[in-house]
């Protein structure tokens, strides 16, 4: 499988690719999802991080904030 096709990805973006989760599935806006997955300089609001982590945990993933940010 060719994940990313040469795109720059953050640690979070690479993890989503490995797990087969699409950015569009995340409970945040399209622009925020793009930044979370592609912009290593982007520092999301705490509320955004908690929303994403809560969503992933609800889907059965054992993730922590420190895993990605």
pLDDT of res. 1: 46
Distance CA 17, CA 37 (A): 10
Distance CA 48, CA 53 (A): 9
Residue 2 has pLDDT above 80, yes or no: no
- At 8, the pLDDT band (50, 70, 90 cuts) reads confident
28-68 per-position pLDDT tens digit: 999 999 999 999 999 999 999 999 999 999 999 999 999 99
- At 3, the pLDDT band (50, 70, 90 cuts) reads low
Which of 44-68 are b and which e, b meaning 16 or more Cβ less than 10 Å from the residue's Cβ? Answer: beeebbebbbebbeeeeeebeeeeb
> Would 8 be classed as within a structural domain?
yes
> Would 9 be classed as within a structural domain?
yes
Residue 23 has pLDDT above 60, yes or no: yes
> Would 69 be classed as within a structural domain?
no
Domain count across the chain: 1
Which domain does 11 fall in, by range? 4-64
């Amino acid at each position: 499988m060719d994940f990313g096709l040469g795109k720059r990805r953050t640690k979070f973006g690479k993890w989503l690719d490995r797990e087969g989760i699409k950015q569009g599935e995340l409970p945040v806006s399209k622009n925020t999802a793009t930044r979370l997955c592609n912009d290593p300089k982007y520092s999301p609001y705490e509320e955004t991080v908690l929303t994403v982590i809560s969503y992933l945990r609800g889907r059965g993933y054992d993730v922590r904030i420190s895993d990605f940010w």
